[in-house]
Amino acid sequence: MTAIIDYGSGNIFSLGSALERIGEKYTVTSEESVILAAERLILPGVGEASHAMRIIRERKLDLILQRSKVPVLGICIGMQLMCSYSEEGETSCLALFSPKVKRLLPEGVKIPHMGWNSVNDIKGSLFEGIKEGECFYFVHSYAPELSISTTSVTEHGSLFSSSLESGRYFGTQFHPEKSGEAGERVLRNFINIRKLIL
Amino acid sequence: MVRKRIIPCLDVLGGKTVKGVNFVNLTEMGDPVDMGRFYAEQGADELVYLDISASYEGRGSFRNLVSRIAKGVNIPFTVGGGISSADDASALLDAGADKVSVNTSALENPALIDKIASKFGSQFIVVAVDAVEKDGFWQVMKKGGRFYADRELFEWSEEACSRGAGEILFTSVGHDGTRAGFACSTLSLLSTMLPVPVIASGGAGTMSHFAHVFYEGKADAALAASVFHSGEIPVPELKRWLAGQGISVRL
């Protein structure tokens, strides 16, 4: 069972639908006992960072996430919230990943970065069976800078981390639940990560 | 580099997909979810579903269908038709829509764009602009291209962006249904001027029209209905051909 962490983020329905399509049971919750009992957690993402961080702290989800021992996947802003700091609303974040989240610069490109773009220099367990340069669906104006935990990069004006991995923490800047078959493969790969990291 | 997008558009009436030529003469096509899934498997990058009954009769939107689409389709989709309040938009977001498109309601109440954008983000709101050229002046139209609105294409599109539109879906009413190509020179001006992606609509008839709309029209995405629904231009073939023309598409 996957627990989708409820911090008031929009469009959880799509993520739940994608999990259903790949045969994974899920629940949407902010209850400590349910989160701690889940086999894996997803921090979904549509919204604004500082507002999201306020709700996360109000619901003590930051403390619960630290106490959990299972794999956690952040999607889009969900991953950004797992970074150390976000320029969006100038907020400190959960610091489960080291990089900072910076605004994308409109250097000859349109912001928000919206649409399908290739994910390069892929590594790590999320990309099992995915070909180098595969396209995924992005919608965002901020992104994590490159860092030691970067497991793929994407270019839009400049390079940013399109995925991160550090211990039991995983994140994608793209939306796997909206990225066709390749996206479903990434979700399946996440689900197949067992509780190996304790 | 972000890919140029190919977007089949499905007009929905009474729960079924229909195709229209110049917004009239409707013929029934098929189940919107099955068709959406088919296009997703074929490599379409995104889908647009328009509830055409809603704008005609002022009915509320088609929330249940939207949930069925979200469950069955694994690519992003936009829904439009009859969205006249932030509450309408919110219900569609909860039902699983990735974006909503507004047209007549935004012309009648431009502050609706600000409201939806500030509540749900610019990425969630597409402003659809239908316009027709009269002596070099691009007159905006409303209510499914049946009435003139008191606005001009470029100034209205710019205002929509400054109010928070995340994308502009421009339909050239004069080109729509003609299969004689997109309004490329106008699209090029619009796309260069606006800070957000522009989706081109109206006039697709051949594969080379799509190449023109990306090269000359500088569009970020191209939307079409009948050439896809009739099977005349299969999406996989179109995308392979565009890639061969040096256009960056997702294969």
Q: Where do the domains of chain A lie, and which CATH numbers do they carry?
A: 2-191 (3.40.50.880)
By Cβ distance, the residue of A106, A139, A184 closest to B123 is A139
Are residues A93 and A56 in contact, defined by beta-carbon separation less than 8 angstroms? no
- The alpha-carbon gap from B26 to the nearest alpha carbon of chain A, in Å, equals 31
**To the nearest whole percent, how much of chain A has pLDDT over 90?**
83
Band of residue B27 on the pLDDT scale cut at 50, 70, 90: low
How many other C-beta atoms can be found within 10 angstroms of the C-beta atom of residue B37? 17
Query: Tokens 């067992």 appear where?
Result: A194
Q: Please give the pLDDT value at position B21.
A: 45
Q: Please give the pLDDT value at position B58.
A: 40
Are residues A34 and A3 in contact, defined by beta-carbon separation less than 8 angstroms? yes
Residue A52, both tokens:
């999201």
The yes-or-no verdict on residue B69 having pLDDT over 50 is: yes
Out of B98, B130, B176, B220, which one is annotated catalytic? B130
String of b and e for B52-83 (b: at least 16 CB within 10 Å)?
Answer: bbbbeeeeebbbebbbbbbbbbbbbbbbbbbb
String of b and e for B180-210 (b: at least 16 CB within 10 Å)?
Answer: ebbbbebbbbbbeebebbbbbbbbbbebebb
Band of residue A191 on the pLDDT scale cut at 50, 70, 90: very high
Q: Please give the pLDDT value at position B15.
A: 77
Which residues of B are less than 8 Å from A106 in CB distance?
Answer: 195
CB contact under 8 A, A112 and B74: no
- The alpha-carbon gap from A135 to the nearest alpha carbon of chain B, in Å, equals 7
Are residues B86 and B115 in contact, defined by beta-carbon separation less than 8 angstroms? yes
How far, in Å, CA of A167 to CA of A7, rounded?
A: 23
Q: Please give the pLDDT value at position B22.
A: 42
Band of residue B155 on the pLDDT scale cut at 50, 70, 90: very high
Q: Please give the pLDDT value at position A196.
A: 54
Band of residue B1 on the pLDDT scale cut at 50, 70, 90: confident
By Cβ distance, the residue of A10, A110, A111 closest to B93 is A10
Band of residue B144 on the pLDDT scale cut at 50, 70, 90: confident
Residue to mutate among A137, A175, A179, A185, with most B CBs inside 10 A, is: A137
The closest alpha carbon to B140, from B118, B116, B122, B158, belongs to B158
Band of residue B19 on the pLDDT scale cut at 50, 70, 90: low
Q: Please give the pLDDT value at position A9.
A: 67
- The alpha-carbon gap from A184 to the nearest alpha carbon of chain B, in Å, equals 8
Residues 6+ apart with CB under 8 A from B198: B167, B168, B169, B170, B187, B190, B191, B218, B219, B220, B221
Q: Where are the alpha helices (DSSP H) in A22-163?
A: 32-37, 49-58, 61-67, 77-81
CB contact under 8 A, A110 and B75: no
By Cβ distance, the residue of A14, A112, A140 closest to B98 is A14
Residue of higher predicted confidence among A10 and A84? A84
HSE of A32, CA atoms in CB hemisphere, 13 A: 9
| Residue B130 a catalytic site member | yes
- Looking at CATH, the fold of the domain delimited by B5-244 is given as TIM Barrel (3.20.20)
Are residues A12 and A6 in contact, defined by beta-carbon separation less than 8 angstroms? yes
Band of residue A188 on the pLDDT scale cut at 50, 70, 90: very high
- Domain ranges for chain B, please list them: 5-244
Q: Please give the pLDDT value at position A25.
A: 96
Closest residue of chain A to B39, computed from CA coordinates: A180
| Each residue's pLDDT tens digit, A35-72 | 999 999 999 976 778 888 999 999 999 999 999 999 99
Q: What's the predicted TM-score (pTM) here? A: 0.91
| Each residue's pLDDT tens digit, A170-180 | 999 999 999 99
Closest residue of chain A to B95, computed from CA coordinates: A13
Residues 6+ apart with CB under 8 A from B136: none
